[in-house]
Amino acid sequence: MADTGKKGKNKLHGAISTMIVLFPMVYFLRSTVVFLMLTMMPTLASLFIETKNGSRYKYKWLCIGGLNFAGALPFMFKMWFTDNTIWGAIAMFFSIKTILVTFGAAALGLLFARTIPMFVLTFIETKDQRRVLALKEIQKKMVEKWGEEVTVFQAKKPLR
């Protein structure tokens, strides 16, 4: 009981500390946060879908997110050095160029997430098949040298 009480207190302390740090940051970077919230929507959507579908490997949103962020960065830089306000952030986002670049980058991320694993899979399968063929050739040579007896092996069991 005492332990449960302690854990609850620690969690509370953690949440309060985070709030103390985060709130001033969100307050001071409120334009950046708004801009990122808008431009990173494809990433958030992808995270949401993956979480909802219960995907085993949740890499897709990271892949989209990486490029999405890369697409958003030049506009964010531009905003920081021109009109670093909430309205400035909204105006920046709603320019066609920003939407095309950021969402296009996210689409490219999606394309990477779809094609690269398949490419890797094909590559690995081909490599495996070649390795198996090479190993079988080695075994064939061993049988030619030692006879069929070489195929019989019983791994020694460790003594108990």
Taking CB under 8 A as the criterion, the residue among 52, 145, 157, 160 binding other proteins is 145
Contacts of 67 (CB under 8 A, 6+ apart): 105, 106, 108, 109, 112
Among the listed ranges 5-13, 23-31, 92-100, 131-139, the one in contact with other proteins (CB under 8 A) is: 131-139
> CB neighbours of 4 closer than 8 A, spacing ≥ 6?
none
Window 89 to 128, contacts with other proteins (CB under 8 A)? 109, 112-113, 116-121, 124-125, 128
Cα dihedral sign, 80-82-88-89: negative
Residue closer to other proteins, measured from CB, 2 or 118:
118
**Which of 1, 16, 96, 155 contacts other proteins by CB under 8 A?**
155
> Distance between CA 160 and CA 147 in Å, rounded?
33
Whole-angstrom CA distances from 5 to 1, 10, 14, 63 are: 6, 9, 14, 41
Select the residue interacting with other proteins from 147, 158, 159, 160 (CB under 8 A). 147
CB nearer other proteins, residue 54 or residue 147: 147
Residues 34-93 that bind other proteins (CB under 8 A): 56-57, 59-60, 62-67, 69-70, 73-74, 77, 81
Based on C-alpha coordinates, what's the Rg of the chain? 28
Name every residue whose Cβ is closer than 8 Å to that of residue 115 and which is 6 or more positions away in sequence: none
Which residues of the chain form contacts with other proteins (CB under 8 A)?
Answer: 56-57, 59-60, 62-67, 69-70, 73-74, 77, 81, 109, 112-113, 116-121, 124-125, 128-129, 131-132, 135-136, 138-139, 142, 144-147, 149-153, 155
